[in-house]
Structure 1
C-alpha cells in the first residue's frame, strides 16, 4: 500500500504532435531536479529540436528524500519516465553542494575532501560526482542524495545515467552564447529560494556561486554583494537573467530599484524548438535547454 502523499502538480506541459515515444532511441531525455520542481524535456537529436517539456511544481517538499518520493509518484503516471529506450538520459541536480577545482590540482581520490571544504556532507546520504569542463580546465565536484540517485536508478536500470550539477549546465550554456569581449558581465539564474550568479570576463568564467534567499531583500543583497566584491557597478553593468522570474514579480521590482540595466536572457539559439515552445517565455527553462550543450 502506497502511503506517500502527492505533493506535486503539473504546472506546464507541451508536446509536439509529431513526436511519439517510439522515437525515444533517437532522443535525449533531460531531467532537472530541485526541491521546488521536477522538470523534463525531450530533444530529438536527429532534428536537433526540443519536442517535449513538462514542469512539475513541488509543494511542501523540504528534503531530497521527499524529492525522490515525488519523482517516483510522478513516474507512475508519466510515460517518459517509464521508457527505457532513450538514447541518453542526463540529469541536472540543483543544490548548494558543489565546488569548482582547477584540473591541474584535482586528485580523484580526494574529491570528497574537496567538496567537504565547501559543503556539509553526509557520507551515508551523499554520493559525489564530477563533471569536467574542458574549456575551463576545471572539475565541478558535486553531491547527489542517495535517495534521489536510487530513485533514478530504479526508473532507468538499463541506462547509463549522466549526472550534472546545474551550475555546469549554466556555465556551458552561458559561455557558449556569450561573445568574447573585453568587458565583464554578470548573469543570474533564478529559482524559488535559490539564485545562481556568474561573472564572465575576457578570459572566461571568473565567478560562480549559488545563494539561498528567503525574501526579495535577501535576493538583491546577494546580487549587490557579488557585484561589489567583483568590482562591478550596479549603475553601469547589465545583468542578464533567466529562470523563474516575471516582469511583475517582487524580485524583478526590487532588481529595478538597484540595477540600472536588466535584460531577460534568451534560450540557446543553435538548436531548434517545436512551434509549441513559441508561447514559452524565452528566459524560462534555460537550465533544461542548457543540458543539450553538455558533453
Structure 2
C-alpha cells in the first residue's frame, strides 16, 4: 500500500499506462476527499491520497486526471443514513425515508442494495459534488462508507454464532453495527466529538445487547488509533477490542483502510 500527497499523485497518474484495469474509489468527507487506486488484481498494491475538499480544488484535481478508469465509485460519509429491508423498500420513497428520520433538508438521496443482508442502504450525498464528479466520470457508482463495512462484517461472521460489535469512525461520527451470527441486530450513527463519547456509546450498545463488556468482541476501523485516549479507555473496559488500522501519512492523519471498500467494487 502506498500513501502520498499531490506530487506523488501526479507522478502516479503520469505513469499510469493501463487505466482501464484500475478502480478509483473516492471517499467524500466533511473537509477532505481520499482517492484510492487499486487494480483488478485484489492482492496488488494500492495507492491512497488525501486532499482538502473545495469546489475549486475538486475541479482542479479531477480535471487533470482525465483517465478512462475501469470503474469509479464515490463513497458518502454522511451521518444521514438508514437501512430498509428489501421487502419494505420502495425506491420512489427514498427521500421520504430520510425526511422522516432526519427532517427536511436540501440533499441528494441515493441508495445501495446490500445483497447479502437483504437490505437497502439509503443515505444523503452532496448534490453539487456528485454532479461535478459525474461530469468527470460518467461511469460513477455511489455507495455509503458503511456499506462495505457491513458486508465485510457479514462475511467475517460466516462461521460464528457470537455477537460482533463492528465500529467505524469517520468525521467524529461513530457508525455502529451489531451482528449475532450473520444476523444484523443493530445499525446506528452517533456523534462523538469527545473521546469519552466513543466509550459511552459503545458500552451502552454492549449492555443493551446483554453482553459482558469484558467478553465483547469489538472490531473498529476508520479514523482511529490504539494510541488515542478514548480508545485506550475503551480497551480497559473491552480488552477484546481489535483495530483495523489504515495507513498514516507524513502529517499523521489516520486514513480508513480502503481495502474494506473492495467488498463493494463491481
For Structure 1 versus Structure 2, the TM-score category normalised by the shorter chain is 0.7 to 0.9
* Matched residue, 1:116: 99
* Matched residue, 1:43: 38
* Closer/same/farther in 2, CA of residues 11 and 20 from structure 1, 3 Å limit: closer
* Matched residue, 2:161: 182
Superposition pairs of residues 1-295 of structure 1, within 5 angstroms: 10=5, 20-46=15-41, 48-56=43-51, 58=52, 67=53, 70=54, 72-77=56-61, 82-122=65-105, 125-156=106-137, 159-265=138-244, 285-286=256-257, 288-294=258-264, 295=266
Shift of 1:238: 2.2
Shift of 1:72: 4.1
Aligned alpha-carbon RMSD (Å): 3.1
- After TM superposition, the runs of 4+ consecutive aligned structure 1 residues lying more than 6 A away are 11-19, 277-280
Cα distance between partner residues in 1 of 2:16 and 2:145 = 26
The TM-score with structure 1 as length reference comes to: 0.77
Cα distance between partner residues in 2 of 1:82 and 1:74 = 11
Shift of 1:291: 2.1
SS of residue matched to 2:69? coil
Any gaps of 5 or more consecutive residues in structure 2? none
CA contact (8 A) 1:98 1:118 kept: no
SS of residue matched to 2:129? helix
SS of residue matched to 2:27? strand
Cα distance between partner residues in 1 of 2:169 and 2:248 = 21
Shift of 1:278: 11
Any gaps of 5 or more consecutive residues in structure 1? 1-8, 59-66, 268-276
SS of residue matched to 1:199? strand
CA contact (8 A) 1:30 1:42 kept: yes
The TM-score with structure 2 as length reference comes to: 0.85
Shift of 1:250: 1.5
1:234-275, CA deviations, whole angstroms, 9 ceiling, x for partnerless residues? 1221211112222221222221232232111378xxxxxxxx
More helix by share: 2
* Closer/same/farther in 2, CA of residues 257 and 192 from structure 1, 3 Å limit: farther
More displaced 10-residue stretch of structure 1: 187-196 or 159-168? 187-196
Cα distance between partner residues in 2 of 1:255 and 1:179 = 27
Higher relative contact order (CA 8 A, sep 6+): 1
